Amino acid sequence: MSLPRIVAQLAGLYGPLPEPFTTEPFELVLWESIAYLADDERRAQALEQLRSTVGTKPEQLLAAARDDLISVAEHGILADQTVSKLRAAAEIAIGEFGGDLGEVLARPAGAAKKALRRFPGIGEPGAEKILLYCRKHPSLAPESNGLRVLVRFGLLPSGRSYSATYTAAREVGREQLGDDFDRLLAARHYLRVHGQQLCRRSAPRCDACVLRNDCAFGQSVSRVD
């Protein structure tokens, strides 16, 4: 089953693609650290509170009262560590990139990813996600839920390391979706949501999946049932 067909079916199941909460590059950096182990709703609340009480520019973060940052970080756990990460990100943005990530995003993909990985909590997937959401360098940029869905549908080999699976997923995205940002953003979103809601790591809801009959994993569950 092809990736475009999977995405189309999942779009019918989960509804219209939502607008991203932010596409501002430094806010996307902050998103990764702003509420540790919180879901998207809590992260959005934290970022909105940061916008309204402190601001999201690097210089505003460094000038902010610690209590204001703690209040934001308490949307997740380990608030003290989160505040340290937010301030470290601001220091890197100012010290290494002049407080503006626009020039970073304009670099070739490899150089842009290397620069973004300087920030706390930003690995290769996070860097590619930022570049995707800013529509600078196209990539599927799947996270763990989306990778699991791709493996279960048989588009990726199972039993490989996370790094190898991620690399293979990037290639599948390139081969089947090309460089179209809209298609890549939709695929990343619907694969992630499906992995969170139905195609869960434990207790998957294959019985409610519209693609069960085309899914190798779903068929194996059916045989067990």
Tell me: the pLDDT tens digits for 198-207? 999 999 999 8
The reply to whether CATH 1.10.1740.10 applies to domain 25-133 is no
CA angle at residue 216 from 213 to 219, to 5 degrees? Answer: 55
Could you tell me the pLDDT band of residue 214, with boundaries at 50, 70 and 90? Answer: confident
Within 8 A by CB and 6+ apart from 123, the residues are 117
Residues of the chain with CATH 1.10.340.30: 25-133
Q: Where are the alpha helices (DSSP H) in 138-201?
A: 144-152, 162-177, 181-197
pLDDT tens figures, 42-64: 999 999 999 999 999 999 999 99
* pLDDT tens figures, 161-179: 999 999 999 999 999 999 9
Rounded distance between C-alpha atoms, residue 142 and residue 145, angstroms: 8
25 by Cβ neighbours in 10 Å (0-12 / 13-18 / 19+) ranks as buried
Architecture of domain 3-17+141-224: Orthogonal Bundle (1.10)
